[in-house]
Amino acid sequence: MTIEAGQPLAGQPTSVRQAGPKRPLGGLGRAALGRAGRAALLATGRTPVPDALEPLVQAHRRHHPQADLGLLGRAYRLAEASHRGQKRKSGEPYITHPLAVTMILAQLGAGTTTLVSSLLHDTVEDTELTLAQVSEEFGPEVAYLVDGVTKLEKVDFGAAAEAETFRKMLVATGDDVRVMVIKLADRLHNMRTIRHMKPASRIRIAKVTRDVLIPLAERLGIQVLKAELEDIVFATLHPEEHARTRALLAGHETVPDALFEPFARTLARQLAEAGVAAEVTVRPRHCVSLHRVLLKRAAAPGRDGQPQEPQPADFGRLLVVVEENADCYAVLGELHTCWTPLPGEFKDFVAAPKFNLYQSLHTAVALAGGEVVEVLVRTRRMHEIAETGVVALGDPRQPGANGSDQAGDELDRTDPARPGWLSRLLEWQQETPDPDAFWSALTADLAGDREITVVTESGETLQLRAGASCVDAAYLLGEETGHRCIGARVNGRLTALSTVLQDGDRVAILTEQGDPAARPSGPAPEWLAHARTAAARLAIERWLADPPARPPVVRAAPAAAGQPAPPALRTAERGAAPVAVAGRPGAAVRLARCCTPVPPDEVSGFAIRGGAVAVHRTGCPAGERMRADGRGALEIHWQPGGAPPAGYRATLRAEALNRPRLLADLTAAISGEGVGIVSAEVEPPQELRVRHTYTVELPEPAALAAVMRAMLRVSGVYDVGRPHAPEGGGTRAPGEGAAAVGAGSGPDPGAEPAGEAAQEPAEGPGPLPDTENGDAPPAPGVRPSWGIHGRSAAFTGQ
C-alpha cells in the first residue's frame, strides 16, 4: 500500500482519469495500431525483436528507454541456437534459464551490456561456442563478463573446482562488479527451480548459497535478491520452521490491518500539513526477517516467564520516501514530535552509510495504544541503492554511471567493490594457493554480517568486520606493521592487542623501532586466538610455519668521529664483551639491572658466584654495599665496539606535571629517536605530579643523551634522570609491588645469579641524588606511590 503525502515528488508522472472510453488516435483499434507499428519498424530496416524477448524488453525499457534492442536480439538468437536441443532437469528447454536470469537483471535495472552477457553466460561453458567467437561478435567487454561467470572444469580441478571457480569470479569481480551480479541472478533462478534437484544436491547448493552467495549479495547491497535467496535457503535447509513462519505470515495477511494502514494515513496527513512531500509505504517482512524477530522474542521471556507471542508490529515496517536529504530529517522531526521515540532505536545511516552504500534513517515510535512501529526514512535515490545496490550505480565503465553528470574517479565508479571488503579478499586470496584453505578463509571472512569503522590517529579510516581486534587492525595496515606490532592505543589509552574494537574507535598501532631492515620479532602463537580477519590469520600462520631468516651480517668500515655506527655494523658488533676485566680475560660480564650502566659511565666490577663479573655504575647503592661487605672492586674499562647480545638497556625516569596524553607523547618521543621501549611503569599522580619510568634498549650508547633530551622537550616534563636503586632495598608496604612487566620479566643477560641477586635490591620508587647525571631528590612532601590499590599501571613493549 502506498499513500502519497503533500505535492507529487519531482520527476513523478501524473495521471488524470477521464470520463468514458477514449479511442486511440486516428480511430484505429489496438490490433491495427500493433500492425502499423510492426510495419513501421520493418520499413526502417530494423530487425524485429523475437517474441520471447517481449517481456524482457518491456522491463528493460522502464529503466533504459534508449537501449539497443538489436543487440539483445542478436544475443538471444545466438544463445537459442547454441543451447538448442539441451534440456534442464525440469524438462524445459535450456534457453529458459538464460532468459529468466536476464529477466531478473532487467527488473533490477541492469544495463544492456549486462543483459547481453547474461543471455550468453552459459554458452561457453555448455555449448560449442568459444570465448573468441563471443568477443568477435559482441566485443571484449561482453567476453570478459561471460568468462568471469564460466565455471572451471572438474576434469581439470577435481574437488577443488568449486573453490577455484569462486576465486576466479572474485578476481574478475575486482575489475568489473557486474560479474558477481550476473552470478547472483544465475543462482537465484537456480534456487527457484531447486526442487528438481536431488535431495543431496539441494542441501549442498543451499549451504553454499547461505555461506557465500547471500553474504556477497549483502555486501553488494542487492537487498531484493538477497531476501529471496534467504527465504529459499530457509525453506530448503529448515522446511519445518519455514512452514511455521510461512503459516504465521499467511494468517496475518488474512486479518485486516488495524495497525500499519491507519498509522500510515495519519503520518501521511501529518507530513502533508508540515509541507513535506513524501510517500508512506507499508513494507511487510519476508519470511527470514520475521523468523529473526520471532527468535528474539523467544529469547526474551515476558513477565510471566513464557516466550512472548508475535505482535502485529512484528510483521512489517513503514517506509517513508522523500525527495531531498533534508526532508529525511524533517520527517524524523515530525515523527519524534508527534509520537514517542524509543531510546536506542534511532540509527543515522544517512550521515554514516553502511559499507554497502546503504543509507536510511531508522527509528521506532510508540503509538497511543502502546504498539511500537519501526519506520525507515530515505530519499528516492537512497531507496534505489538500498534495493538494488551496485546495480543502481550503473555501468562502472561508463562516465556518469554513479548518477551524477560528471564521471568520478576509478574507485568511485566501482564502489562498493573497491576499496572495501572485496579489495581485502583479493589481497589475501593471492597468498592462499591451497583451495581448501582459500574456501575456509572465504566463508569465515564472509560470516560476519556487519562491519565497523575505526580511525587511526593519523586520520586513516579502516574498515573491519565486527569483532575484529587490534591484531586485525595492525595487519590491515600492512603485514610488516603486523609483524612489528608490540602494542596498541585505543581512544588514547594503552590496551592489549586482544582488545575487540568498536565502531568509531580511534586506534594507534605501536611498533618496535630500530633498523627497518632487521628481522621483526614477529607474532606470537596466541595471536591466532585474537585474529578475526582472514588476512591476519593467514599472515600469522605463514610466519609461525616458516619464520623469515635473519638478514646476513654485513661488516662495514667504522663510522666517522661523532657519527653513530650504521645498523649493520652495530648488529655485527653485538655479542662482543662490553667491558674488559683486568686479570680475567674471557670472564662472563653482567651489566647490573639496578643501575643499567651504559658507556661512558664510570663503572665498578665485582666478582659474583660462578666466576662472572657484575658491573655497576659508580655510586650505585648496591655496588657500594658490596664494596662495604669486603668485596674488592675489579679494574674494568669499556671495550671499544663491544655490546651485550641484547644491546644496552637504560632506565630513565621522567618527572612531570600530570596532563592528558602525557604517556602517549613520551612514548612517541622515545620511539621518534629510534629507541625501543622494553617496559614502562606509570605511577598515579601525587599533588598533580606524576612519575614515568621506562626501560629502553639503545641502538648505540650515544643515543642515550638524545632520547633524554627528547623526553625533556615533552610539554609538562620538568626533569629526566637515570635513577639508582635506593638504600634499604626499596622497602614497600605489605601488598605493594611494582607490576612493571616486559621483556625483562624473564632471564636478563645483565642479571646476576639468584644467590647474588638477593644482595642487590630491586629498583625502588625514589631516585637518589646523582650529580653526574643531573638527578635531583624528590620534592618535599611527594610520597612515592606504587599505583592504585598497591599496584602500578604498566605495559610491555615486547
Marked catalytic residue, from 80, 126, 175, 624: 126
Interatomic CA distance for residues 102 and 611, integer angstroms: 86
Is residue 464 within 8 Å of 472, Cβ to Cβ? yes
| Residue matched to cell numbers 470520463 | 19
Q: Cell numbers 622537550 label which residue?
A: 713
The owner of cell 589481497 is 427
Residues 6+ apart with CB under 8 A from 590: 608, 612, 613, 614, 615, 749, 750, 751, 752
- The candidate with the shortest Cα–Cα distance to 267, out of 373, 189, 424, is 373
Q: Can you list the alpha helix ranges (DSSP code H) found in 121-175? A: 123-126, 131-138, 140-149, 154-157, 161-175
CA 752 to chain centre: 47
Q: Rounded to 5 degrees, what are φ and ψ at 648? A: -75, 135
Q: Quickly count: other Cβ atoms within 10 Å of residue 527's Cβ.
A: 23
Q: 797 to each of 491, 676, 696, 707, how far by Cα in Å?
A: 19, 8, 9, 17
Which of 51, 80, 122, 125 does the annotation list as catalytic?
125
Known catalytic membership, residue 126: yes
Beta bridge partners of 697: 649, 676
Query: CB count, 10 Å around CB of 506?
Result: 14
Question: Positive or negative, the Cα torsion across 215, 221, 226, 227?
Answer: positive
> Any residues with CB less than 8 A from the CB of 319 and at least 6 apart, and which?
280, 281, 282, 283, 375, 376, 377, 378, 383
Catalytic residue at 125? yes
Asked whether the beta carbons of 634 and 611 are under 8 A apart, the reply is: no
Which residues fall within 8 angstroms of residue 537, CB to CB, at 6 or more apart? 441, 528, 531
Sequence-ordered list of residues with C-beta below 8 angstroms from that of 560, at least 6 positions apart, any chain: none
List, by residue number, the catalytic residues.
125-126
